[in-house]
Structure 1
Amino acid sequence: MRDTELELSVVVPMYDEEEVLPIFFERMRPVLDGLDVRYEVLAVDDGSRDATASLLLAATAHWPELRLVRLLRNSGHQAALSAGFRRARGAYLVTIDADLQDPPEVIAELLAAAREYDVDVVYGVRSDRSSDTWAKRTTARMYYRLMGRLVGKDIPFDAGDFRLVSRRVVDAVNQLPEDGRVFRLVIPWLGFPSTQVRYVRAGRAAGTTKYGPGKMLRLAFDSVTAFSAAPLRLATWLGLLGGLLSGMFVIGALFIKLSGRSIPGWTSTVLAVSVIGAIQLLCLGLLGEYVARLFQSSQKRPQFLVGYDSLDDKGHQARTEESVNS
């Protein structure tokens, strides 16, 4: 049940972040304490293999607003965000990564913008990504341009998962029946009033990134297949193109044969088979992505399972103390 007096929930997905946690505590707590609002920090441990969970649990003893939510297994960044959305209690919710590339100090600006402009969503937009590698900047630019064409022009360019949303948005997201949601596309798609706060993206405070090329590619596939049927239409057009090329090869072969200029060889045959085979495999791959999503949806397995929530322990402790005092 939501605490109606709680103003802000900060959801932080974490996976093997033991190296950055001391710096995270040092920077995050003064920022939130200085906001002069009741808040909670939901550190969602996504099945970490290192000491992340134990360090967070130890920190809850001297930081009462810190709350550890631990998933039973590694379920992915977006699943950890979903767990945070499900369990957050605040009137506003901020999502931010633990690596401190998105500065916690900007949270105050997000909250101020939401109040000043009376909007439900405030996107943190990266105005400077010079701390990222050239490859990451390039692929990110390609991703946002592709999403803008497929999903719509409402997708904020260079806005990741650092944002503030109101309780109305949280409730709307939680009511969506789909699994495997991509938050940077779902939230703009909902259409709530929004604004932006621009900031400079910093380098990672400590440790190494857990979001490698494979996960980035998976995010791109999930983004496309979850929000657009364009790849299916692409498969159709590629099939038509393959048919057209095949027809041209047949006409050319008949013309050469009838004119008596037939030259024995295999180049044209190999070329034709290669082109058509490549198109067919691509189309099958695109269809397979959609069939896989349908298969996963039909299984109705939960996207994540929560194994532990430190708030439950606090509630149990409070009820025990009340019982003893009475």
Structure 2
Amino acid sequence: MEKISIIYLVLPCYNEEQVIEDSAEKLKVLMDDLKEKERISTESRVLFVDDGSTDSTWKLLQDICHDQSLFGAIKLAHNRGHQNALLAGMMTVKDSCDAVITLDADLQHDISAIPKFIELYEQGNEVVYGIRQSRNGESGFKRFTGDAFYGLMEMLGTKVIKNHADYRLLGSKALQALSKYEESNLFLRGIIPSIGFQSTTLEYEEKPRLAGESKYSLRKMIQLAMAGITSFSVRPLQLITFCGGVFFLFSIVMLIYAICVYAQNGSVPGWTSIVAPIWLLGGIQLLALGIVGEYIGKIYLETKHRPRYEIEAMIINQNGDKE
């Protein structure tokens, strides 16, 4: 008889009191249906990861977990960001399941695609990436900056999956491999494609939020982009070296030109020709220092070997038992 897979859903959440109960209700209907059809094991569970919420999210999660053995929850001691919350959930359940599916707690990731994720996993794919069919719900600015980021990462030689936003399935082999990555500068969208294993993609239609606002502000998106760039590429540093060489050669040409003008008793009139290069080179130098500083800062954080997260409380229901 073919083994039925134990599937865990992992959902990071931060200040999601407006949607968490509705999300839990919809997930229960889905999971109960999959269990009834024997598509997943009865030991399959849903794990919420509270990323240091300041509203009543944790209290609601406690009530949900105590009422339904299907659900579990962990509470991080401090807000550590979406990527660390995802990792905390996956590492908590990696030894208890055959595969993990990560998705957002507001269920903008279409849960009707989950049976297809499982089907693709059963076909031998260790990693299945959810790809958004369209991004109509996003502003033009967000679409533009997102496309620019994917293009930049590709130019820098980093493999990322375009239009993929952490809606994915990871099998047990991929989870065990992921557990060996210990960097603090965490960028899962770059790490997971670098792990290897057989993988595929699955298109889905992103849903609008039922309530509340997206927790991915412009500041957080910039931080995520910087983490991705500095985690997987040294090409910005190589670009600084290249630009330095180009401007060094240019300065030699300008020196020869100045000597020739002086020898011919000429002069170089104009204030602009003096000030413009000063501003240009000054800006380039400051930009170069900023890029180098980003890398030095990442090295500084990595050498401390500080924990990426601390779990303050945990409710894990195994085989219907409550803790």
Q: Tell me the TM-score normalized by structure 2.
A: 0.91
Letter in 1 for 2:200: T
Q: What does residue range 234-253 of structure 1 map to in structure 2 within 5 Å?
A: 234-253=239-258
State how far apart, in whole Å, the 1-side matches of 2:320 and 2:209 are. Answer: 35
SS of 1:43's equivalent in the other structure is: strand
State how far apart, in whole Å, the 2-side matches of 1:131 and 1:20 are. Answer: 18
Q: What does residue range 290-309 of structure 1 map to in structure 2 within 5 Å?
A: 290-309=295-314
Q: What does residue range 173-212 of structure 1 map to in structure 2 within 5 Å?
A: 173-212=178-217
CA contact (8 A) 1:242 1:279 kept: no
SS of 1:98's equivalent in the other structure is: coil
Indicate the structure whose relative CO is greater, using CA pairs within 8 Å and at least 6 residues apart.
2
State how far apart, in whole Å, the 2-side matches of 1:269 and 1:311 are. Answer: 68
Deviation (angstroms), 1:172: 0.6
The 10-residue stretch of structure 1 (288-297 or 263-272) with the greater mean CA deviation from structure 2: 263-272
206, 214, 218: which is aligned to 1:213? 218
108, 132, 140: which is aligned to 2:146? 140
State how far apart, in whole Å, the 1-side matches of 2:44 and 2:109 are. Answer: 19
Q: 1:273 to 1:107 in 2, by over 3 A?
A: same
SS of 2:291's equivalent in the other structure is: helix
Letter in 1 for 2:135: R
What is the identity percentage for the equivalent residue pairs of Structure 1 and Structure 2?
A: 33
Aligned counterpart, 1:125: 131
Matching of residue 91 in structure 1 with residue 98 in structure 2: yes
CA deviations over 1:27-79 (Å, ceiling 9, x no partner): 22211221112311111111111111111111112221211100000111111
Deviation (angstroms), 1:99: 2.1
State how far apart, in whole Å, the 1-side matches of 2:313 and 2:213 are. Answer: 26
Deviation (angstroms), 1:251: 3.0
SS of 1:34's equivalent in the other structure is: helix
Aligned counterpart, 1:322: none
Letter in 2 for 1:227: F
SS of 1:70's equivalent in the other structure is: strand
Q: Tell me the TM-score normalized by structure 1.
A: 0.90
Matching of residue 284 in structure 1 with residue 289 in structure 2: yes
Aligned counterpart, 1:110: 117
Q: 1:317 to 1:9 in 2, by over 3 A?
A: closer
CA contact (8 A) 1:182 1:222 kept: yes
Q: 1:158 to 1:313 in 2, by over 3 A?
A: closer
Q: 1:6 to 1:66 in 2, by over 3 A?
A: farther
Letter in 1 for 2:72: R
Q: What residue ranges of structure 2 are gaps of 5+ in the alignment? A: none
RMSD, matched Cα: 2.2
CA contact (8 A) 2:72 2:317 kept: no
SS of 2:45's equivalent in the other structure is: strand
Q: What does residue range 150-161 of structure 1 map to in structure 2 within 5 Å?
A: 150-152=156-158, 154-161=159-166
CA contact (8 A) 2:66 2:322 kept: no
State how far apart, in whole Å, the 1-side matches of 2:251 and 2:208 are. Answer: 52
State how far apart, in whole Å, the 2-side matches of 1:312 and 1:306 are. Answer: 16
SS of 1:253's equivalent in the other structure is: helix
272, 276, 291: which is aligned to 1:267? 272
Q: What does residue range 42-57 of structure 1 map to in structure 2 within 5 Å?
A: 42-57=47-62
CA contact (8 A) 2:71 2:317 kept: no
CA deviations over 1:133-154 (Å, ceiling 9, x no partner): 11111111122222223245x5
State how far apart, in whole Å, the 1-side matches of 2:319 and 2:7 are. Answer: 19
Q: What does residue range 7-46 of structure 1 map to in structure 2 within 5 Å?
A: 7-36=6-35, 37=40, 38-46=43-51
Letter in 1 for 2:54: R
Moved over 4 A (4+): 312-318
Count of aligned positions: 313
CA deviations over 1:270-311 (Å, ceiling 9, x no partner): 112112111111111111111111100111111111101112
Aligned counterpart, 2:238: 233
